[in-house]
């Protein structure tokens, strides 16, 4: 029998913020590997383009407009995924926003907005996913994989980004706790720490010659990361190939952190 650890046929995956950038890269990898894929995003045009790209792989796709800053919307959205696609095996909490501002000028309102989207929403998303996975385990169907998109800002000094970095460090601790608490149900939890990736969030920096010369030139690969650089790690973490791999943090930054 052929060894097919990365075959996701029969598995259902959800990627929040899955209509572009890192999230879409993940979703495309999952769809190509045979998973049924649900994505959340709020931009109708990006949702439509992402849906078309994912359906090209031939599997079932569910696209939802979900505001992850709204707890009720998250609860309802995840319930719809399970109802429509039948189950949930892989949940990637990837949606996030930036929050760049001088620390001494940061307003409480802006701080709360960043923490709500980048930290609270991860809690709500994973809580609902875990409830489903635990119930499945009790019925004799254990297993599941939780993945959060953190950032290398969680382990670097990130000036003007203290709100963002704080949330990205917070989810690392959340994931480690989940990995220990729910292993008995076959549920794994891991983190991905992207470096400088070409997404809508970094659009301003991408066109900045000074930034590219001083920062991207220091990336050993000498380029910005792309969304599809995250396809493989998503497939690995959703698959049975990672069935004993939990509580880990994957730095995907082209070598920037170690250089």
Domain ranges of the chain: 12-252
12-252 topology per CATH: Rossmann fold (3.40.50)
Whether the per-residue pLDDT at 131 is higher than 90: the answer is yes
Is residue 164 annotated as a catalytic residue, yes or no?
yes
CB 5 within 8 A of CB 72: no
Q: Residues 57, 164, 236, 256: which is the catalytic one?
A: 164
pLDDT at residue 201, as a whole number: 85
Residues 41 and 47: their CA atoms lie apart, in Å, by 6
- Cα dihedral value 87, 30, 176, 133, nearest 10: 10
Q: pLDDT by residue (tens digit) across 182-195?
A: 999 999 999 999 99
pTM as predicted = 0.95
Buried/exposed code over 88-104 (b: 16+ C-beta within 10 A; e: otherwise): bbbbbbbbbbbbbbeee
pLDDT band for position 200 (50/70/90)?
confident
């Amino acid at each position: 029998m052929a060894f097919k650890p990365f075959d996701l046929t029969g598995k259902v995956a959800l990627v929040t913020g899955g209509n572009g950038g890192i999230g879409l890269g993940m979703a495309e990898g999952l769809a190509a590997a045979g998973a049924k894929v649900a994505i959340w995003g709020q931009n109708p045009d990006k949702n439509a383009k992402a849906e078309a790209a994912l359906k090209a792989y031939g599997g079932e796709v569910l696209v939802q407009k979900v505001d992850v800053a709204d707890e009720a919307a998250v609860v309802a959205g995840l319930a719809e995924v399970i109802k429509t696609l039948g189950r949930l095996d892989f949940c990637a909490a990837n949606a996030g926003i930036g929050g760049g501002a001088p620390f001494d000028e940061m307003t409480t309102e802006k701080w709360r907005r960043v923490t709500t989207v980048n930290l609270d929403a991860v809690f709500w998303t994973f809580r609902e996913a875990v409830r489903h996975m635990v119930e499945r385990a009790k019925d004799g169907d254990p297993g599941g994989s939780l993945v959060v998109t953190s950032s290398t800002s969680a382990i670097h000094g990130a000036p003007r980004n203290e709100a963002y970095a704080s949330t990205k460090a917070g989810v690392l601790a959340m994931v480690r706790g989940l990995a220990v608490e729910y292993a008995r149900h076959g549920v794994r939890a891991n983190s991905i720490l992207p470096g400088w990736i070409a997404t809508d969030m970094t659009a301003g920096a991408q066109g900045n010659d000074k930034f590219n010369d001083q920062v991207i030139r220091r990336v050993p690969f000498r380029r910005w990361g792309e969304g599809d650089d995250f396809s493989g790690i998503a497939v690995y973490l959703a698959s049975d190939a990672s069935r004993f791999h939990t509580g880990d943090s994957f730095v995907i930054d082209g070598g920037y952190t170690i250089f």
